[in-house]
Amino acid sequence: MNDELSGAIEEAAAIVKNARHVVALVGAGLSAESGVPTFRGPEGLWTKHGEPDLRDYDRFVEDPKRWWEMRISRQSRFGEFVEALDRAQPNAGHLALREMEELGYLKHIITQNIDNLHQLAGSAAITEIHGNRTKLRCVACAARWPLDEFPIEELPPQCPLCGGVVKGDTVMFGEPIPRDALDECSNQTWQCDCMLLIGTSAVVYPAAGFPIDVKGMGGHLIEVNPNETPLTRHADVILRSLAGEALPKLVQRLREMAAEGERHA
Ligand code: APR
């Protein structure tokens, strides 16, 4: 481990250890080491195929039956993304976040990822601001179901609770973020005095605004990213590394600090 990184790990561990309410804001970079393409950057999905336009959700609302027919026939121009998601397993970065939660340091994960890898890694306190690809959601009452627990008997499927239209839980371009998810993100941000910014380019709102709120309330920001982002200049500590390498080292240092603390107690 180079000196610069080990010094930054030391600083980050000290901040996390002394923080009251640590929240991780997670982006596609965390799942990159699980083989899931990121969106921006040279190999990014949007860079290669172009970003979906903001009328995506309007088209769904105009003709939800057609949207479902396309979905069922897997007609997507992002086939490689879907296949990568189907194959993906949690990596050392996801597992380190679970450990940080179990050790009591990490209180919540706000993830922009739809890949369900936090749950597969065993993390518990999670808000998926862009939804979860393994779930369905009613657009009217926001009730959600695991995909395999909701038999599709008609197109578009109707919500058994309110009669609303059911769609994939993934938030589409142009779709408002579900109220319950947004409220929980605000609740966690409000309590947060240390936010880990993990593998996000921090250009998509409202997620990219949460760290600024934390900073504005006097909290600390720790960026974990091999590249600079618009949040780098606001960060107190920068772990210029891959998440799957830096996060396990951060957990290891926290464990050592806890042991040192016990020895001196
Ligand atoms: N570890 C940590 N960070 C990484 C790694 C890695 N192994 N690999 C790449 N990164 C960083 C990149 O440097 C970049 O800053 O992850 C970031 C990925 O940025 P984006 O592709 O823009 O992903 P994200 O920030 O999650 O995008 C936000 O945009 O299009 C929407 O809905 C989509 O949720 C997504 C949102």
What residues contact residue 189 under an 8 Å CB cut-off, 6+ apart? 23, 110, 195, 210, 213, 214
**Segment 79-95, tens digit of pLDDT:** 888 999 999 999 999 99
State the Cα–Cα distance between residues 97 and 117, nearest whole angstrom.
11
- Is pLDDT above 80 for 250? yes
Over residues 122-139, the mean pLDDT reads 98
Give pLDDT, residue 76.
65
Residue of 213, 191, 193 lying closest to 202 (CA atoms): 213
Name the closest-CA residue to atom 36, ligand 1: 204
- Flag whether pLDDT at 75 surpasses 90: no
pLDDT digits (tens, 9 = 90+) for 194-215: 999 999 999 999 999 999 999 9
Report residue 179: phi and psi, to 5°.
-55, -45
The pick from 26, 36, 39 for probing ligand 1's pocket by mutation, whose C-beta has the most ligand atoms within 8 angstroms, reads: 39
Q: 74 pLDDT exceeds 80? A: no
Rounded to the nearest 10°, the torsion over CA 18, 14, 207, 240 is 180
Beta-carbon contacts of residue 82 (< 8 Å; ≥ 6 apart): 74, 76
pLDDT digits (tens, 9 = 90+) for 1-57: 788 899 999 999 999 999 999 999 999 999 999 999 999 988 899 988 888 888 999
Active site residues: 130
Q: Is the pLDDT of residue 144 over 70?
A: yes
Structure tokens belonging to residue 108: 């919540």
- Report how far residue 189's alpha carbon sits from residue 248's, in angstroms, rounded to the nearest whole number: 24
Distance 159 CA to ligand 1 centre (A): 33
Ligand 1: list residues with CB < 6 Å: 27-29, 32-33, 38-41, 44, 112, 130, 199-201, 204, 224-227, 229, 242-244
Q: Lowest-pLDDT range, 70-79, 106-115, 212-221, 241-250?
A: 70-79
Peptide bond into 178 cis (omega under 30): no
pLDDT of 136 higher than 70? yes
Give the H/E segment covering residue 26: strand 22-26
Cis peptide before 156, with omega less than 30 degrees from 0?
yes
